Amino acid sequence: MALEQIIQDGEKYLMYNYKRLPVVFTSGKGCYLTDTEGNQYLDFLAGVAVNSLGHCPEAVVEALKDQLSKVMHVSNYFWIDTQVELAKLLVDNSFGDKAFFCNSGAEANEAAIKLARKHSYKKFGAQKNEIIAMKGSFHGRTLATLAVTDNKKYQEGYGPIPESFKFVPFNDIDALKAAITENTCAILLEPIQGEGGVTAAELQYLKAVKTLAVENNILLIFDEIQCGFARTGKLFAYENYGVAPDIMSLAKALGNGFPIGALITTDEIAASWQPGDHGTTFGGNPLACAAGVATMKEILEGKLWEKAESTGKYFQTKLQALVEKYEWVKQIKGMGLMLGLELTIDGAPIVEKAFEKKVIINCTAGKVLRFVPPLIVGEKEIDLLMNILTEIFEEISTNL
């Protein structure tokens, strides 16, 4: 079907809740996507940090094909072999003891909120139910995750928003300390805020948050939906800080494009849920977990966190040249291959110009160009991106 017809039918039959670029991708391999016209695009967004192994990696494709020929879905009334295998891989390589599977990041955060409240309810009583989140956060679009997402545009028109949630400035330990009450049951934060401008937690801040949580019998929840799975130079971002959470939410890269989310926690906290307390029809089904197992094995066997660290340093060196050359380029943010380039001007036109030149990037928080390419990206692809960005930046400087 021609591009024009696809767009015409899409506008007729799909709800208008996405602003879409005029392209349809029909195939992808590695760091590249190909559209209906045969044009190749260099992908530095990776489905928003999803396709960490690149597009259509052989290991994941073959795992899905194999599982498709066996069984696609059974309910959680039964044991599922791929689910148990994936749980073991996650637990053996993290702080946790137990895993729970769902279908998305929003569901993982919703489950984290429910688990934290259930645990506190059983241990301290119904009054200890308040959750503190961070300004600049993004945790999902369900009603509960909207309540911990600090962006009024996502909440407008959906009230009443669930209560007993509050926000404090990120990286401000005094503000957090002042917000804690005897009713606080959990602190929820992203070690690196993705939608909030690729802003990383400061080392001493995160250590102090952990101390506050322990002293006040508060659960610490890390949302690693975007920053997890080798993207920051460690398998999980919390390892960069030496601070382990009590609960961790995961999704995005876990299935390398196949929808799956997960929750990791300790034995003590996991025991707060008993049969019937929480569940999902599709969560952790054989097909999703087969994708997760294949993805995890590729990440672990390839030690892709090491590649993310080394390639990320090369990338940062190239980006630094832009910081030094253009006065409207403010700073580099993030770590590993989760990087942002903060500007003093609107970043959206740069994203559009890059797209015209067949490069896919993203802008978050208005003025931060976000780069979350596949972890297999190399210096060749980075150099190509930098050449195109330099062309765009030169054009902008001429017109400023």
List pLDDT tens digits, range 18-60.
999 999 999 999 999 999 999 999 999 999 999 999 999 999 9
Does the structure show a pLDDT above 80 at 1? no
* Nearest of 289, 333, 294, 335 to residue 312 by alpha carbon: 335
- φ, ψ of residue 341 in degrees (nearest 5): -120, 105
| 105-129 average pLDDT score | 98
- Distance (Å, whole) CA 103 – CA 88: 18
Instruction: Give residue 53's pLDDT.
Output: 98
Q: Which pLDDT value is given to residue 399? A: 84
User: What is the pLDDT at residue 150?
Assistant: 87
Domain 71-302: give its CATH code.
3.40.640.10
Query: What whole-number distance in Å separates Cα of residue 37 and Cα of residue 306?
Result: 36
Residue 51 near residue 226, CB atoms below 8 Å = no
Tell me the mean pLDDT in the region 103-119.
Answer: 98
Residue spans of the domains in the chain: they are: 3-56+304-399, 71-302
Residue type at 375?
Answer: L
Average pLDDT of the residues in 148-160: 90
Q: What's 306-320 look like in SS3?
A: HHHHHHHHHHHHHHH
pLDDT tens track for 200-249: 999 999 999 999 999 999 999 999 999 999 999 999 999 999 999 999 99
What is the identity of the amino acid at 259? P
Separation of alpha carbons 219 and 189, rounded Å: 11
CA distance 342 to 274: 46
CB 240 within 8 A of CB 191: yes
DSSP-derived 3-state class of residue 262: strand
- Alpha-carbon distance of 258 to 52, in angstroms, equals 12
3-56+304-399 and 71-302 in the same fold: no
Residue 68: what pLDDT? 97
* Mean pLDDT for the stretch of residues 253-272: 98
Confidence of residue 151 (pLDDT cuts 50, 70, 90): confident
β strands within the chain, DSSP E:
25-29, 32-35, 40-43, 98-102, 130-134, 165-168, 184-189, 192-193, 199-200, 219-223, 247-250, 261-265, 329-335, 338-343, 359-360, 362-364, 368-371
What amino acid occupies position 284?
A: G
Q: Which CATH number fits domain 3-56+304-399: 3.40.50.1260, 3.90.1150.10, 3.40.1440.10, 3.40.50.720?
A: 3.90.1150.10
400 pLDDT above the threshold of 90: no
Say how far apart CA 185 and CA 164 lie, in whole Å.
10
Say how far apart CA 141 and CA 161 lie, in whole Å.
11
**β-bridge pairing 130-134 and 338-343:** unpaired
Q: Is 129:164 a contact under the CB 8 Å cutoff?
A: yes
What mean pLDDT value characterizes the chain?
A: 97
Look at the block and give the residue holding tokens 């709800």.
15
Q: How far is CA 69 from CA 63, 65, 184, 202, 231, in A?
A: 10, 7, 48, 47, 32
97 confidence band (pLDDT: 50, 70, 90): very high
Closest to 215 measured CA to CA, from 176, 270, 166, 171: 176
What pLDDT is recorded for position 262?
98
pLDDT at 289 over 90: yes
